[in-house]
């Protein structure tokens, strides 16, 4: 499904909207469905569930992070949504946005995927004709696409490192298999317990459509087989990115050293543009395309001399090198903070390089991830690993791709990227912010039975 559109919708008439939800539930793609031309999914915000008429007592059973939303002062600091990325500058999803772009008016996300742009245009026209007549209005449509070779605009292959859900039939390395309950509500997680799920405590709607709590409380579980979806619209400043790499690696005579520019960028990412991991190929990109995800950092790179400690990939998934723990314990701890990521690029299909990095329009990434515990998964990764400048005994080193701050006062704080070496480390200074947040929200991603239930409340 190379083309996509994410409709952010507002409920204008809840009774008509529930009629539409009931209709569209029959077209939602499920785990048994392998569509060839079109695919459809749906997700709801906390204000959206309230707009449908869900009782406050039932709404209180959702995770606190979902109820509070992405734009809170605490969350802004924790996620690094300050400076250019402050919600005051978002296009949609902030409490500070005006009119329908305000967080309170983002109710539903309808996720449309098609095989190509022609099919997307005709399919979306069909969908719009129906939902616009049934109590919904479009706040903003956000188009996305898969770029060639699954690369993103900064020029690197993406989406390689993904956990496998325990109980599925995908053949994988056992170290990469994570408990079902980390990603799907109603199952046990890596702690051996059921993740908190939104139970129905006040009778409302046709609860016969919902299963009972697997933990045995006797309550109906709205969350079972669902998940929480984090969505962030991220602008990629590719021109700034490659100008920085080029400047920090230029030859003695001031000319471009393309190979060194790519190498520095790859050190920051943790993989070469082809997708090949630095742990296995520390000196040069082997060429071709790679989906190699079968590796660890211990014992092959315990000192970070192949893939730096501060690289985006190593800090967002430490694998078997979690702080000072041994391999087995490290994997156990890392797997308690995994997410399933899905990304789609937007804007012109530029795959930038050191010599081709000018975009004629804003380009970026629709970042999405699934997790059952937003605090312990997405927010933990962002705050404790990505934004923390002292990760792995570093000092002034945030995530070079997504953790650099340009908030007021931070211009006086050194933000570096350190490459471990022997006998000495090498540091590049004055990191720039290469990614800006343009909008975002936390969504509830329900099961098919839960979608049908929501139409009855």
Amino acid 355: pLDDT:
98
Q: What is the pLDDT of residue 171?
A: 65
Distance (Å, whole) CA 217 – CA 215: 6
Angle at 218 between CA 217 and CA 223, to 5 degrees: 80
Q: pLDDT 10s per residue in the chain (457 long)?
A: 999 999 999 999 999 999 999 999 999 998 777 888 999 999 999 999 999 999 999 999 999 999 999 999 999 999 999 999 999 999 999 999 999 999 999 999 999 999 999 999 999 999 999 999 999 999 999 999 999 999 999 999 999 999 999 988 776 678 889 999 999 999 999 999 999 999 999 999 999 999 999 999 999 999 999 999 999 999 999 999 999 999 999 999 999 999 999 999 999 999 999 999 999 999 999 999 999 999 999 999 999 999 999 999 999 999 999 888 999 999 999 999 999 999 999 999 999 999 999 999 999 999 999 999 999 999 999 999 999 999 988 999 999 999 999 988 766 788 999 999 999 999 999 999 999 999 999 999 999 999 999 999 9
**Phi/psi of residue 114, each to 5°?**
-140, 165
pLDDT at 411: 66
**C-beta of residue 213 within 8 angstroms of C-beta of residue 219:** yes
The pLDDT assigned to 218 comes to 96
* Domain ranges within the chain, ordered by starting residue: 3-231+440-454, 238-337+389-435
SS3 of the chain: CCEEEEEEEEECCHHHHHHHHHHHHHHCCCCCCCCCCEEEEEEECHHHHHHHCCCHHHHCCCCHHHHHCCCCHHHHHHHCCCHHHCHHHCCECECCCCHHHEHHHCCEEEEEEECCHHHHHHHHHHHHHHHCCCCEEEEEEEEEECCHHHECCCCCECCCCCCEECCCCCCCCHHHEECHHHCCCCCECCCCCECCCCEECCCCCCHHHCCECCCCCCCEECCCCCEEEEEEEEEECHHHHHHHHHHHHCCCCCCCCHHHHHHHHHHHHCECCCCCECCCCCCCCCCCCCCCCCCCCCCCCCCCCCCCCCCHHHHHCCCCCCCCCCHHHHHHHHHHHCCEEEEEEECCCCCCECCECCCCCCCEEEEEEEECCCHHHHHHHHHHHHCCCCHHHCCCCCCCCCCCCCCCCHHHCCCCEEECCCCCCEEECCCCCCEEEEEEEEEEECCHHHHHHHCCC
CA dihedral 235, 65, 112, 204 (to 10 degrees): -160
**CA atoms of 352 and 238, how far apart (whole Å):** 7
- Closest among 223, 188, 233, 173 to 367, alpha carbons compared: 233
For residues 276 and 285, the answer to whether their CB atoms sit within 8 Å is: yes
For residue 457, what are its two tokens?
């409340």
pTM for the model: 0.96
Cis peptide bond N-terminal to 299, omega within 30: yes
């Amino acid at each position: 499904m190379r083309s996509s559109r994410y409709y952010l919708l507002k409920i204008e008439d809840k009774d008509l909207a529930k009629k539409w939800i009931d209709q569209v539930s029959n077209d939602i793609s499920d785990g048994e469905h392998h569509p060839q031309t079109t695919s459809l999914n749906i997700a709801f915000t906390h204000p959206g569930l309230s707009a449908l008429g869900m009782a406050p007592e039932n709404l209180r059973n959702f995770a606190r992070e979902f109820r509070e939303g992405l734009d809170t002062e605490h969350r802004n600091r924790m996620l690094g949504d300050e400076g250019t990325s402050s919600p005051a500058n978002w296009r949609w999803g902030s409490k500070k946005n005006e009119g329908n772009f305000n967080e309170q008016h983002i109710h539903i996300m309808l996720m449309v995927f098609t095989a190509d742009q022609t099919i997307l245009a005709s399919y979306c026209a069909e969908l719009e004709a129906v939902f616009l007549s049934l109590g919904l209005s479009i706040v903003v449509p956000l188009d996305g696409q898969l770029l060639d070779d699954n690369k993103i605009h900064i020029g690197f292959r993406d989406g390689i490192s993904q956990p496998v859900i325990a109980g599925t039939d995908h053949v994988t390395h056992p170290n990469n298999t994570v408990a079902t309950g980390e990603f799907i509500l109603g199952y046990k997680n890596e702690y051996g317990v059921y993740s908190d799920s939104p139970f129905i405590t006040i009778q409302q709607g046709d609860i016969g459509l919902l299963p009972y709590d697997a933990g045995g409380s006797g309550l109906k579980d709205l969350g079972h087989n669902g998940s929480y979806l984090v969505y962030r619209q991220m602008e990629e400043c590719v021109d700034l990115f490659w100008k920085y790499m080029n400047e920090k690696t230029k030859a003695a005579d001031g000319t471009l050293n393309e190979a060194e520019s790519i190498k520095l960028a790859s050190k920051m990412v943790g993989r070469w543009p082809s997708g090949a991991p630095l742990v296995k190929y520390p000196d040069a990109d082997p060429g071709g395309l790679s989906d190699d995800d079968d590796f660890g950092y211990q014992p092959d790179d315990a000192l970070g001399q192949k893939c730096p400690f501060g690289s985006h990939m190593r800090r967002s998934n430490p694998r078997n090198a979690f702080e000072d723990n041994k391999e087995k314990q490290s994997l156990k701890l890392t797997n308690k903070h995994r997410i399933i990521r899905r990304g789609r690029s937007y804007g012109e299909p530029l795959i930038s390089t050191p010599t081709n990095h000018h975009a004629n329009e804003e380009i970026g990434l629709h970042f999405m991830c699934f997790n059952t515990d937003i605090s312990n998964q997405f927010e933990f990764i962002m705050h404790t690993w990505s934004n923390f400048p002292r990760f792995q005994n570093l000092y002034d080193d945030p995530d070079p791709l997504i953790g650099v701050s340009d908030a007021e006062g931070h211009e006086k704080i050194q933000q570096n990227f350190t490459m471990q070496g022997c006998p000495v480390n090498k540091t590049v200074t004055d990191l720039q912010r290469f990614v800006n947040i343009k909008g975002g929200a936390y969504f509830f991603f329900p099961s098919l039975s839960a979608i049908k239930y929501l139409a009855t409340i």
